[in-house]
Structure 1
Amino acid sequence: MDAVDRAFEAVPRKGFLPRLARSRAGHDGPILIGHGQTNSQPRTVADMLRLLDVQPGQRVLDVGSGSGWTTALLAHLTGPEGTVLGVELEADLARWGAQNVAALGVPWARVREALPGVLGDPYDAPWDRILVSAEADSLPPSLVDQLADPGRLVIPVAGTMTLVVRADGTTSTSHHGRYRFVPLRQPRADR
């Protein structure tokens, strides 16, 4: 069992779904959580986390954290030596996600509402890892700018899972299959 499988075992999806959807927690598909957002398909989340390759003690940014499930999974991967910040554009989801993550008793992880007109969190950058759970039309330069060196960013771009790796002052991009996500709403300067 790898680190991602252990995280899934430690952080069951059920607690991050609306009460009426919890019976579907084992369904390997996206589940609506309100405001046009979804709790992503578990297989897709696992693929993204494996690409992200989170290590204990890292600083991780979770963009589009929704119900807080991915933030909680990331917290398990970083362990208490790490820091995980989930940002969510929808205020109601951000509050719910914050409550869900707080209930786990992992003080090194939290969810907050995204700042207006700001993609990610450039103020606390650089981040060792950035996970984006919404689809961008093109790779957002502001998120790449928030990446540490070394660092990894996983984001669906125009239907393709994209991995951005920064190492030794060089940034490279690779593509890892086709996926569907809700659209990423970006500030104007990033479009």
Structure 2
Amino acid sequence: MDAVEAAFAAWPREGFLPEGERRRAGYDGPLPIGDGQTNSQPRTVADMLRLLDVRPGQRVLDVGSGSGWTTALLAHLVGPTGSVTGVEIVPALVEFGSANLAATGQPWASIRRATPGVLGLPDHAPYDRILVSAQPASLPQALVDQLADGGRLVIPVRGTMTLVTTSGGEVRESHHGSYRFVPLV
């Protein structure tokens, strides 16, 4: 079992869905979590986490944390020597996701409300890894600027899963298939 499979086993999707959707947790597709947002398809989440290549001890930013599931998975991957901060723009989902995350007993992870008009948490950067679970029309430079040297950003830009890596001031971009996501707001 690889690290991503172990994270999925530790934190099943069911615990991060609204009560009425929990019976559908095994469905390999997006499920509604309220306010027009979704809990992403498990296979897509696994693909994104593998591209992100999270390691123990890293600092991770989870943009669009929604129900808290990806934040919990990331927290499992970084372990107690790392840290994960989720940001979410929808107040009801900040509350829902925070409660779900608290139930995992991983105090090195948290979810906070995103500041309208600000992507990520630039005042707390840099981050080793950034995961974005919503789709922008173009690659946001504001998030690229929050990456540490040697960092990785995974984001579905215009429906194409994009991996951005940094090394010695150089930024590289590669593309890894087509996906559908809710818009990044």
Match in the other structure for 1:133? 133
Identity %: 70
Please state how far the C-alpha of 1:116 moved relative to its aligned partner.
2.1
Please state how far the C-alpha of 1:92 moved relative to its aligned partner.
0.3
* Stretches of structure 2 lacking an aligned partner (at least 5 in a row): none
Counterpart of 1:139 in structure 2: which amino acid?
Answer: L
Post-superposition Cα deviations, 1:110-165, rounded to whole Å, max 9, x if no partner, equal 01110122110001000000000000100000000000001000000011000000
Match in the other structure for 1:2? 2
Counterpart of 1:80 in structure 2: which amino acid?
Answer: P
Q: Runs ≥4 in structure 1, deviation > 3 angstroms?
A: none
Match in the other structure for 1:143? 143
Question: What is the alpha-carbon distance in structure 2 between the residues aligned to residue 50 and residue 115 of structure 1?
Answer: 28
Comparing 111-120 with 30-39, greater Cα deviation is found at: 111-120
Post-superposition Cα deviations, 1:58-84, rounded to whole Å, max 9, x if no partner, equal 000000000000000000000000000
**Secondary structure of 2:57 counterpart:** coil
**Secondary structure of 1:101 counterpart:** helix
**Secondary structure of 2:112 counterpart:** strand
Matched residues, number: 185
Q: Equivalences for 1:1-191 in 2 at 5 Å?
A: 1-185=1-185
Question: What is the alpha-carbon distance in structure 1 between the residues aligned to residue 174 and residue 120 of structure 2?
Answer: 21
TM-score (norm 1): 0.96
Question: What is the alpha-carbon distance in structure 1 between the residues aligned to residue 98 and residue 111 of structure 2?
Answer: 5
* Stretches of structure 1 lacking an aligned partner (at least 5 in a row): 186-191
Question: What is the alpha-carbon distance in structure 1 between the residues aligned to residue 136 and residue 90 of structure 2?
Answer: 17
